Chains A and B, each alone.
Chain A
Amino acid sequence: MRKAFPVSTALPVTGGRAAQSSLAVKVSRNGRTGPIAASTVLAGTTMSLFGISWDIQWHVDVGPDTFFTLSHLMLYSGSAVAGIASLAMVLIATAAQRAGQSVDRFPGGKPVRVLGGVFRAPLGYLITGTGAALFLLFGLLDLWWHSLYGFDAVLDSPPHIGLFLSISFSMVGSVIVFAAARDTRWGRAGVILSIPVLIVFSPITTKAFGALPLPVDPDLVGTVLFATLLLILGTLTIGRRSTALTIAATLGVLQLILWWFSPWAARVYADATGLPLRDNLGDDPPELPSGIPVFMLIAAAAITALLWLSRKRGWSGRVAPQIMGAGGGAVVGLSLPIQSALFGDSGPTSAELLKMTATGAVTGVLAGYLAARLAVLLREHATASVTKGR
């Protein structure tokens, strides 16, 4: 599918300017542009993740906000950083087209034509940039919501869910950007770093369904779904045997860092602003990091084993991902009640364990099904041949 030679997509509007003279062309041809832009986007989304973990911990440890806190600023700046980096890449891509350059091998995913545009822009950066812009727009809705309902508004208010979805979009964009460069070392490293960020963040959105009378906590189902889906997605996209385990280990490291960072930042900031901590704080674990599945290595081992088995036995591609998903999902589902018992909740009953394992397996089938199809899309959009071998 990779183009062996550049097909001219020069448009009639490019005029007589020589392609070589354009700064945009130079930048777009520079091999370092891809990794720099992609890692800036990842830095932005990671900032958002740390910002939200800090903010949630701040609300747990200190109280409601009466001003724009630094954790909010971190959250917003994260989106701004990701948005500006994406914007820059879109501008460079379109400027290169104006200069007569083909962008088929431009880093950041398959170039697509949007809004009836004359030029094409890389898919990954388009999604990241749109997500970041939407996030900033939802800020207005959030301000309006707080002006109606006050500062005590809950985590699952509609504007908050909109904000979380937008950040998730940006994070999905960064996965697409890195997956497009999976032939390179930085691309693969980026996939392995950006997938755990998305695994941690995406279940927050499922809190939107928390008010529904469901038999299982939708937050837990979301955790199983996204953890399993993204683990398999990463594995199938990179296609190496150790990928699942590496992603799970990265997730563990991220969890440890957040576990330390969130309460630390909340306390330091409370000190700095002269606000006291709540006086009924126990030794509860940090809110967001304690919800990240801790036994992901076991799930990753199960998925790796099932992947190995499916290749050895030659299972059909139609069912193998679902089997991998069921195995991984069951492990994650089973582990969640055990994990919350470890962190101070009451011990789970065997009925609860059974229920969560079954829920995990069913959710995992869906996750596997989706992951296989999404992985195909990610692999299709690879455009990194220009940087291959770096």
Chain B
Amino acid sequence: MARVAAAVLCVLGLSVTLESPAWADATAGGDLQVAQTLGDRDLTFVLRRVTGLPGPLHVDVLTHQGTAAGTLRLGTVPTGASADRAEGSSAGTTTSSASVRLGGTPGSCSAALDIDRAGPWELVVDDGSRTARIPFVVPGQATSPPELAVFGGFVTAGVLMLMTLFVAVRARRGVWALLPAGGVVAALAVAVTAALLSTSLPLPPEPGGQVDATNDNVNDPYSVVRPVTNDYSRPPASLEMGSYPARAAERGTLRLSVADGATGLPVDDLVVHDGALMHLLVIGPTGELWHLHPVRTAPGTYEVQLRLPAAGHYAVSAEFARRGGGVQQVRSATGLTVADGSARGGSPALRAELVPRGPGTRTIDGVPVRLSAPSPTAGEASTLTARVGDTPTLQPWLGMVGHMIVVGPLDRADATSPARMGQAAQDAPVWAHAHSMGSDMSGHSAPGTGGAPAHDMAAMPHGTHANGGEAKASSMSGLMPLNGDSPADETVAAYGPDASFVYTFSRPGYYRVWIQAERDSAILTIPYLLRVSPAGGAK
């Protein structure tokens, strides 16, 4: 019996199920990075993972160049509904608060708040004049049913083993010992089977990511509501802009309401994607681009403070992701029209260094930037590589080494006009937003890559084509979180200086392109004008 059982166990235990699917960890929860345009300040909030309950929630507030000094008031509010009345009763009340003093120089300021339960929460940030509410989920410690079967099986086997020993030396009839001994074998069979299956069973829907989080499903994600579905997608959302009465060069607040496309109800299920709840792109008449992150003030309501310098038309689009669905881009059908400021008269001229140019070398805010875009052709993938500065000291902004906003195709007059760009962007067929995780690794390895802190892997595979994948992994070390680790935040200035984008321009014409990267805690926005030649034709 022993031999057979041993042989079976060995075979089962060692037959590696090679086709078992990836089960990268999604629910254990990493750090949450949220960019917020709060008043005049551009801030990044990093909500560190809560490692124990009850326990502290460490919040790091990262400031940038030009962020005003001051004090923020932070608070935590549980928001989760629960079937248990007592547990749900404190929803909506502030359970802990702390204040953060922001210094005048860019950097990180920390605060610790108390979290006493798993479930959906809000981080409330008050700068004295407005309040941002950042939703986040504190995951509970859940044990999966197969895991329970594994441990239950092994523990039962252990208990029955002791029982068998006891019965064997005590019982007068030997047959009785076979009863618990048979149980040992059965319990082991259960445990081994569950262990082998545990990697291949599907995960339950993720509360906060795929389904709405409640206290109940966060604490036990496996209490799946039937019927089980693989399709968590939701209807599209519409974006309504409030009135914007501020004149040119005045401060004004733009209110945005997000409503469900199917019911018209406010949408309060935006999830953090690419480091923000909502990415708002505003393109002004002079061709200036703002990439802002409106704060959530109430369910379905967002607002952002603007100071638009010139009179004229501004085109607006927003990118956000609803829970359970993909990212959507919503372009405002109206845009904004800003009246002339009465006092000043006449639009201020655009700074010379912000005038769009073609590929080549230029200097923005004292940083040399070189863009190479070898003859972009419609319908073909083009690689645009921007070298921002000379040193690998780019910081990941919104989790990316670089961002590229593309608007077009435009005719030549609109694309180069210093006063009509807003209207042209409003009418442009394509708005695109591409990301870069570093330099292009598909061809020869560019010199000066390997921005990651020196370690053995970075030195090894450079330039070897066979190991291209590995080289890529090392140059973006820390950006792509592994196995539940958290991605590097903006305090890691170790990437670039090359940021490569691959984009396929669908039609020929003139395109306005803005490349954004963070260096020395300042976001650089570099405007370009690109001419895309027709496919297969003469240039």
Q: How large is the interface on B (under 10, 10 to 19, 20 to 34, 35 or more residues)?
A: 35 or more
Q: Is A349 an interface residue (CB 8 A)?
A: no
B2 and A85 contact, CB distance less than 8 A: yes
Within 8 A of A (CB), among B144-177: 144, 146-148, 150-151, 154-155, 157-159, 161-162, 164-166, 168-170, 172-174, 177
Which residues of the partner chain B approach A268 to less than 8 Å between Cβ atoms? 16
What 1/0 flags go to B19-50 for Cβ under 8 Å of A? 01111110010000000000000000000000
B360 CB–A CB distance under 8 Å: no
- Chain B residues with Cβ below 8 Å from A74 are 13-14
Could you show 5 A-B contacts with beta carbons less than 8 Å apart? A66-B25, A83-B161, A136-B159, A143-B148, A281-B456
Which chain A residue shows the least CB distance to B477?
A: A279
B52 and A77: CB pair below 8 A?
A: no
CB of A311 within 8 A of chain B?
no
Measured in the bound complex, the distance between the Cα atoms of B5 and A281 in whole Å is 39
When the two chains form the complex, which single residue of A130, A140, A272 contacts B155, counting CB atoms closer than 8 Å?
A140
Expressed in whole angstroms, the Cα–Cα distance for A129 and B24 within the complex equals 37
Per-position binary interface string of chain B over residues 183-212, scored 1 when its CB falls under 8 Å from any chain A CB and 0 otherwise:
011001001101110110000000000000
Chain A's closest residue to B149 (CB) is: A68
Chain A residues near B196 (CB-CB < 8 A):
73
Whether B473 is near chain A, meaning CB under 8 Å from some CB there, is yes
Q: Assess whether B317 is interfacial by the CB under 8 Å rule.
A: no
A373 to B539 alpha-carbon distance, docked (Å): 94
- Greatest chain B CB density within 10 A among A84, A89, A135 is at A84
List 16 extra interface pairs beyond A76-B191, A278-B482, CB under 8 A.
Answer: A63-B485, A66-B23, A67-B146, A68-B146, A70-B195, A73-B13, A73-B196, A84-B5, A87-B161, A94-B177, A114-B169, A115-B166, A136-B161, A137-B158, A148-B141, A150-B141
Q: Mark B434-467, 1 if CB is under 8 A from A, else 0.
A: 0000000000000000000001110000000000
Name, among B2, B16, B17, B177, the residue most crowded by chain A CB atoms within 10 Å (CB to CB). Answer: B2
Q: Assess the B6–A132 pair: CB atoms within 8 A.
A: no
Chain B interface residues (CB < 8 Å from chain A): 1-3, 5-6, 9-10, 12-14, 16-18, 20-25, 28, 51-52, 141, 143-144, 146-148, 150-151, 154-155, 157-159, 161-162, 164-166, 168-170, 172-174, 177-178, 181, 184-185, 188, 191-192, 194-196, 198-199, 455-457, 473-474, 477-478, 482-485
Q: How far is the CB of B163 from chain A (nearest CB, A)?
A: 9
Residues of B within 8 A of A316 (CB): none
Contacting pair B165 A87 (CB below 8 A): yes
Task: Check B474–A272 contact: CB distance below 8 A.
Answer: no
What's the Cα separation between A130 and B166 when bound, in Å? 11
Most chain B beta-carbon contacts within 10 A, residue among A118, A119, A139: A139
Of the four ranges (under 10, 10 to 19, 20 to 34, 35 or more), the interface on chain A belongs to: 35 or more
- Which of chain A's residues have a CB closer than 8 A to the CB of B482? 63, 275-276, 278-279
| Complex alpha-carbon distance, A132 and B141, angstroms | 28
Please state if B199 and A91 are interface contacts (CB–CB under 8 Å).
no
Mostly, the A contact residues are helix
Q: Is the CB of A282 within 8 A of B6?
A: no
Is B52's CB under 8 angstroms from A70's CB? Answer: no
Contacting B at CB under 8 A, from A24-55, are 24, 36-37, 40, 43-44, 47
Q: CA separation between A80 and B234, bound complex, in Å?
A: 49
Contact partner of B143 (CB less than 8 A), chosen from A116, A126, A143, A269, is A143
* A40 with B23: CB separation less than 8 A: no
Residues of chain B contacted by A83 (CB below 8 angstroms): 157-158, 161, 184
CB-CB under 8 A from A91, the residues of chain B are 164, 168, 174, 177-178, 181
Q: C-beta contact mask, A94-133 vs B, less than 8 Å → 1, else 0?
A: 1100100000000000000111111111000010011011
Nearest 3 pairs between A and B by C-beta? A136-B158, A117-B169, A274-B22
Chain A residues with CB below 8 A from B12, complex form? 77
For window 128-178 of A, CB contacts with B under 8 Å fall at 129-130, 132-137, 139-140, 142-143, 146-152
Tell me the nearest residue of chain B to A269, going by C-beta.
B16
Check if B456 sits within 8 Å of A121, measured CB to CB: no
B148 proximity list for chain A (CB < 8 A) = 143
Contact A67 B16 (CB under 8 A): no
Contact of A130 with B174 in the complex, beta carbons under 8 Å: no
Query: Is B165's CB under 8 angstroms from A279's CB?
Result: no
Q: Does A288 contact B (CB under 8 A)?
A: no
Q: Are A70 and B13 in contact (CB under 8 A)?
A: yes
B13 touches A150 (CB 8 A): no
Of A84, A149, A278, A282, the contact of B52 (CB 8 Å cutoff):
A149
Closest CB in chain B relative to A90 CB, distance in Å: 5
Cβ A139 vs Cβ B10 within 8 A: no
Min CB distance, B95 to chain A, in Å? 21
Report the Cα distance A88→B158, complex, angstroms: 14
Report Cα–Cα, A8/B456, bound state, in Å.
70
Tell me the chain A residues, 234-288 only, with Cβ under 8 Å from chain B.
Answer: 268-269, 272-276, 278-283
A contact residues around B195 at 8 Å (CB)? 68, 70, 72-73, 76
Min C-beta distance of A106 to chain B, whole Å: 13
CB <8 Å contact, A272 and B18:
yes
CB pair A81–B23 under 8 Å, yes or no, is no
Q: Are A66 and B28 in contact (CB under 8 A)?
A: yes
Query: How many Å from the CB of B472 to the closest CB on chain A?
Result: 11
The one of A47, A69, A70, A133 that contacts B162, using a Cβ cutoff of 8 Å: A133
Chain B residues closer than 8 Å to A95, beta-carbon distance: 174
Contact, CB under 8 Å: A84 / B168: no
Which among A13, A24, A140 is the interface contact of B151 at CB below 8 angstroms? A140
Contact A121 B168 (CB under 8 A): yes
Task: Compute how far the CA of A252 lies from the CA of B5 in the bound complex, rounded to whole angstroms.
Answer: 31
Query: Contact between A80 and B155 (Cβ–Cβ < 8 Å)?
Result: no
A117 CA to B21 CA, complexed, in Å = 50
Give min CB distance, B535 to chain A, whole Å.
Answer: 38
Cβ-defined contact, B5 with A81, below 8 A: yes
Q: How far is the CB of A94 from chain B (nearest CB, A)?
A: 4
Q: Does A347 contact B (CB under 8 A)?
A: no
Q: Determine the distance from Cα of A140 to Cα of B149 in the docked complex, in whole angstroms.
A: 11
From known contacts A87-B181, A119-B169, A273-B199, infer whether A80 and B457 are also in contact, taking CB-CB under 8 Å.
no
Residues of A within 8 A of B184 (CB): 83-84, 87
Contacts of A116 in B (CB 8 A): 170
Complex Cα distance, B158 from A134, in Å, reads 6
Cα–Cα, bound, A89→B483 (Å) = 44
- Is the CB–CB distance between A77 and B147 below 8 Å? no
Expressed in whole angstroms, the minimum distance between the Cβ of B49 and any Cβ of chain A is 10
Residue of B nearest to A71 (CB): B13
Inside 8 A of B18's CB, which chain A residues have their CB?
A: 272
What is the bound-complex CA distance between A117 and B162, given in angstroms? 13
A115 touches B169 (CB 8 A): yes
Contact of A80 among B154, B173, B477 (CB under 8 A): B154
Chain A positions within 8 Å of B10 at CB level: 43, 47, 77, 81
**A338 adjacent to chain B (CB < 8 Å):** no
A132 to chain B, nearest CB (A): 6
Is A275 a contact partner of B22 (Cβ separation < 8 A)? yes
Which of A43, A67, A81, A147 is most buried by chain B, counting CB atoms within 10 A of its CB? A67
Q: Within the assembled complex, what's the spacing in Å between the Cα atoms of A197 and B520?
A: 55
Distance from A116 Cβ to chain B, minimum over Cβ atoms (Å): 8
Complex: how many Å from CA A350 to CA B38? 60
Query: Residue A210 at the B interface, CB < 8 A?
Result: no
Q: Is A62 an interface residue (CB 8 A)?
A: yes
| B157: A residues at CB distance < 8 A | 80, 83, 133, 136
Is A147 in contact with B141, judged by CB distance below 8 angstroms? yes
**Complex alpha-carbon distance, A148 and B455, angstroms:** 35
Q: Which listed residue, A69, A81, A120, A137, touches B169 by the CB 8 Å rule?
A: A120
Q: Answer yes or no: A348 CB below 8 A from chain B CBs.
A: no
Q: Are A274 and B158 also in contact (CB < 8 A) when A73-B13, A84-B2, A88-B1 are? A: no
B532 shortest CB reach to chain A, Å: 37
For A115, the chain B residues whose CB sits under 8 A away are 165-166, 169-170
- A68 and B147 within 8 A (CB): yes
Of listed A47, A76, A90, A119, residue having the most chain B CB within 10 A: A76
Q: How distant is B493 from chain A, measured CB to nearest CB, in Å?
A: 18
In the bound complex, residues from chain B placing their C-beta under 8 Å from that of A77 are: 9-10, 12-13, 192
Complex: how many Å from CA A147 to CA B31?
Answer: 20
